[in-house]
Amino acid sequence: MFKEINIRQVEKEEREGLNQDLQWLSDSLGLSSPRDKEKSCFRIFLELVKAKKEDRLISSDEIAFNSHLTRGTVIHHLNKLGDRGLIITYRKRYTLSSKNIQSLMSEIESNINSTMKDLKEIAKKIDKELGL
């Protein structure tokens, strides 16, 4: 199974409030890019977090309406979030892939550790074959 894992080391500034913490988390997960001037992916992530808080699934149309984005933009970013394993789809509705954000981070950590283990094993094999 392929999952894109992006982690950025973003300086954690003194921030006040939940929205700033969510923005830092989003930036650290690579959900924003210089091209995303409207912070579309972050806004979509916020809608998914709000829906999770209410323990409900949310459609792409609802996300588009609530975040004032086009459905095409929403679908693009939902695909990106899905590729990263951050969300799941059930009957054309979306939710975070874990019960809460902390467990989502633990899941990402587990995926990173598994990937690093595989990378180290291959690196060891390559070093042996090259005599390094």
Q: What is the CATH number of domain 18-130?
A: 1.10.10.10
Query: For residue 60, is pLDDT > 80?
Result: yes
pLDDT band with cut points at 50, 70 and 90 for residue 115: very high
For residues 110, 63, 42, 2, the Cα torsion angle rounded to the nearest 10 degrees is 30
Per-residue pLDDT averaged across 45-53, rounded? 95
State the average pLDDT for the chain. 91
Taking residues 29-47, report their average pLDDT: 87
Can you tell me the mean pLDDT for 12-28? 84
- 2-13 pLDDT, tens digit per residue, is 677 788 888 887
Nearest to 32 by CA among 46, 49, 14: 46
- Please state which of the ranges 19-33, 75-89, 116-130 shows the lowest mean pLDDT: 19-33
93 touches 87 (CB < 8 A): no
What are the beta bridge partners of residue 22? none
Residue 7's pLDDT is what?
A: 86
DSSP symbol at 4: -
Mean pLDDT across the stretch 69-91?
92
* All structural domains of the chain with their residue ranges: 18-130
Q: Is the pLDDT of residue 17 over 90?
A: no
For 39: left if phi > 0, alpha if psi spans -120 to 50, otherwise beta; the answer is: left
Q: Cα–Cα distance between 125 and 123 in angstroms, integer?
A: 5
For residue 95, what is the enclosing H or E element?
A: strand 93-96
> Which amino acid does the sequence have at 63?
I
Q: Ramachandran region of residue 69, left (φ > 0), alpha (ψ -120 to 50) or beta?
A: beta
The answer to whether 31 and 42 have CB atoms below 8 angstroms apart is yes
Percent of the chain surpassing pLDDT 70: 98
Q: Please give the pLDDT value at position 1.
A: 59
How much is the CA Rg of the chain, to the nearest whole Å?
17
